[in-house]
A and B are shown apart, each in its own frame.
Chain A
Amino acid sequence: MEILTWTYLLVGLSFALYIGIAIWTRAGSTKEFYVAGGGVSPLANGMATAADWMSAASFISMAGIISFAGYDGSVYLMGWTGGYVLLALLLAPYLRKFGKFTVPDFVGDRYYSHTARIVAVICALFISFTYVAGQMRGVGIVFSRYLEVPIEWGVVIGMVIVFFYAVMGGMKGITYTQVAQYCVLIFAYMVPAIFISMQLTGNPIPQLGLGGSLADGTPLLDKLDGVLSELGFAQYTSGRKGLTDMLMITLALMVGTAGLPHVIVRFFTVPRVKDARLSAGYALVFIAILYTTAPAIAAFGIYNTIESTSEKSIDALPDWISTWEKTGLISVNDKNGDKKVQYLANSEENELNIDRDIMVLASPEIAKLPNWVVGLVAAGAMAAALSTAAGLLLVISTSVSRDLVKTFKPEISEKKELRIARLAAAGAVILAGYFGVNPPGFVAQVVAFAFGLAAASFFPVIILGIFSTRMNKEGAIAGMLSGLVFTLIYIIYFKFISPETNSEEFWWFGISPEGIGSLGMMINFLVCFGVSKITPPPPNQVQEMIQEIRIPRGAGKASDH
């Protein structure tokens, strides 16, 4: 069968599966809508968390980023997994014991203040919206590349699917769809990786193949270091980023991960505190399968690309290069007219331009795998984008129906609240779709925002809310605001106001905008401590509540009161 037929078939089947699950798991109450009734098993929740967490960027772009960044790409690998240790040890069990539905719920109750709650809602909405726009764009791109429909139509189809299960099913529908999506995406990621690893190193496990040897007996990574140096690039296994920046970016990504509302809220859906701990462990196992494979795909991809193009005759390039030239993701320009391809670090002489997304998207063709594998990768990329989009939309709709409407109008009935939640989800889908079709120029830039803001606003306030009985509302509000404002100004300055000075010599202490969330977090902590020292301690019932959430026994299912 043709590639296109396979792609339609596999993507269509996966969509039918998601819709089937959505109909089967319709939410009937606000509790089912917000936290799936609190009855999800730790294993299922772990899988759903993994799918929720791994976005189109993790699936499509991360391996490619590492291909070109080499050792420096490690910040993403460590940053986006290390956060789960913080989440499991410092946040998830206690927030589960607290037993409500949202992060602003916790901030508002723990700091006995509507103001704190509103600040938290604004942060949650901002983080989720920047993220979701990128996901819808990812859906559109996958559609246009694989199914040859215009990006706009791709986004609309994606919107309809997400609308179906996020709006109908709420958290319950999303959870079970995400379990299915995880299976689709991990299968799609692993199949090409395993085959490429076998072809290059003879080892079917990509994680071991990365450290394996090529047919001539040289270790792959040594060979790669050598080849890249010859072409004028830095060695694959050595770094170019400054030490402070490496540390700060890794920290910001870790802490940001632990502070992302759509990830935290997943741990409200399990029945018990011990399930929340275990579930974080399962989630990281499922994430680690992809995250330890990605560096292997990265090294295999760049090695294969160089081997099959560098100094090769332009007329004898492999088929996949001409296939992907049509999409504009790869281009060859014979500048010196010698009919051969020169891939060089020097941009004046370089004749090959490669988009980083190629490394995953073209991997089945590079490995000469059958056509159905290409369709599978398309379905996997779609699963990654849709699952993350749905999780984010739920946070947005919950923030509106529960954290905004219910705070100001506590008397509305459950039925009405559920209707508002569904309406908000529908509105958010449409808005996200709009941004998917008309992406603001800064979509790629705002990822730094989402993590930086989560790190600088939520994380310190939640940690202190659990581990300090003395932290009060004055400290928390001042801390959140100062961390937030500092990080915002730094990022806006270097990304938008003065992008020409966005380089190491102008950064504070050599910290890039990607890593500034770490400094914002430290400022948040310091301000919290400083302000709380000179203001009255929290009331007794709040101090009792803190003692209460530190003990697992007595965690009922997540409740409304």
Chain B
Amino acid sequence: MDGQKQKMKAYWRKNLQTLLVLLLIWFMVSFGFGILLVEPLNEVKLGGFKLGFWFAQQGAIYTFVILIFIYVWRMNRLDREFDVNEE
């Protein structure tokens, strides 16, 4: 039973690590690139876009989608690894 408890603690810690990394990226692309750093990034051009403007109106949204799918993939692997996955 104690071993089981230790295992669940480890599972939860790995889960939190995953969340932390993904939420850092979430913060960077929206609040970081889209708002705080928008002016320096606007000096860079991406096709017909200024880069900061592109992040605020396009790039952040694409990144959000990718982040959720990375989370799904990573958590499914973690669930199997710790044997807490559903049938």
Contact = CB atoms under 8 A, between A and B. Distances in A.
Contacts of A73: 57
B48 A281 contact: no
Contacts of B53: 71, 74, 221, 237
Given A89-B22, A273-B86, A278 B57 contact: no
Contact of B65 (A89, A243, A246, A284): A284
Size bracket, chain B contacts: 35 or more
Interface in A382-408: none
Size bracket, chain A contacts: 35 or more
A238 B35 CA distance: 11
A277 B26 contact: no
Contact of A246 (B35, B75, B84): B35
A461 to B, nearest CB: 18
B6 to A, nearest CB: 13
A88 B86 contact: no
Interface string B62-87: 10110111011001100100001110
Given A210-B58, A292-B62, A84 B35 contact: no
Contact of B34 (A78, A84, A213): A78
Interface stretch (A162-170, A329-337, A546-554): A546-554
B86 A553 contact: yes
Given A71-B53, A547-B8, A274 B72 contact: yes
Nearest to A213: B48
A247 interface: yes
A73 to B, nearest CB: 8
A19 interface: no
A90 interface: yes
Contacts of B84: 551-553
B73 to A, nearest CB: 10
A373 to B, nearest CB: 25
Given A88-B68, A250-B31, A552 B85 contact: yes
B30 A250 contact: yes
Interface string A190-220: 0000000000000000011011110000011
Interface string B4-34: 0000100110010001001100100011001
A285 interface: yes
25 contacts: A66-B57, A71-B38, A71-B53, A74-B34, A74-B56, A77-B60, A77-B61, A78-B61, A81-B61, A85-B26, A221-B50, A237-B42, A238-B42, A243-B36, A247-B31, A250-B35, A274-B79, A281-B68, A288-B61, A288-B64, A288-B65, A292-B62, A552-B84, A553-B85, A553-B86
Interface of A: 66, 71, 73-74, 77-78, 81-82, 84-85, 88-90, 93, 207-208, 210-213, 219-222, 237-239, 243, 246-247, 250-251, 254, 272-274, 277-278, 280-281, 284-285, 288, 291-292, 295, 547, 550-555
Interface of B: 8, 11-12, 15, 19, 22-23, 26, 30-31, 34-36, 38, 42, 46-50, 53-54, 56-58, 60-62, 64-65, 67-69, 71-72, 75-76, 79, 84-86
